[in-house]
Amino acid sequence: MAEQYGLVFTLSEELRPLYEKFGIDVPGFNGDDTFRLPVPATYVIGKDGTVLYAFVDADYTKRLEPDDIVEALKAL
């Protein structure tokens, strides 16, 4: 799904040793030899498949507040 929405990036060569230092085996988790990771995102999608609300931030520490999601759902 992340690939379909264009939410996948490849971890840079410079950051790979840092991930490995912390014991994060990206290729192992991926089940292949790639260093691809998803960008966190939240979507509210209507019954007809239309994206009604989207929140995407490359900074994985920034997430949509639950209250904002509830408000978007109420607006349906």
How sure is the predictor about 33, in pLDDT bands with cuts at 50, 70 and 90?
very high
Flag whether pLDDT at 5 surpasses 90.
no
65 in Cβ contact with 41 (< 8 Å):
no
Whole domain around residue 59: which residue ranges? 40-76
**In a shared domain, residues 26 and 54:** no
**In a shared domain, residues 11 and 24:** yes
Q: What is the pTM of this model?
A: 0.66
**In a shared domain, residues 34 and 56:** no
Report residue 11 as tokens. Answer: 């971890």
Q: How many domains does the chain have?
A: 2
**In a shared domain, residues 45 and 58:** yes
**In a shared domain, residues 31 and 53:** no
User: At a CB cut-off of 8 Å and minimum separation 6, what does 11 contact?
Assistant: 19, 26, 35, 36, 37
Flag whether pLDDT at 4 surpasses 90.
no
**In a shared domain, residues 1 and 34:** yes
**In a shared domain, residues 57 and 74:** yes
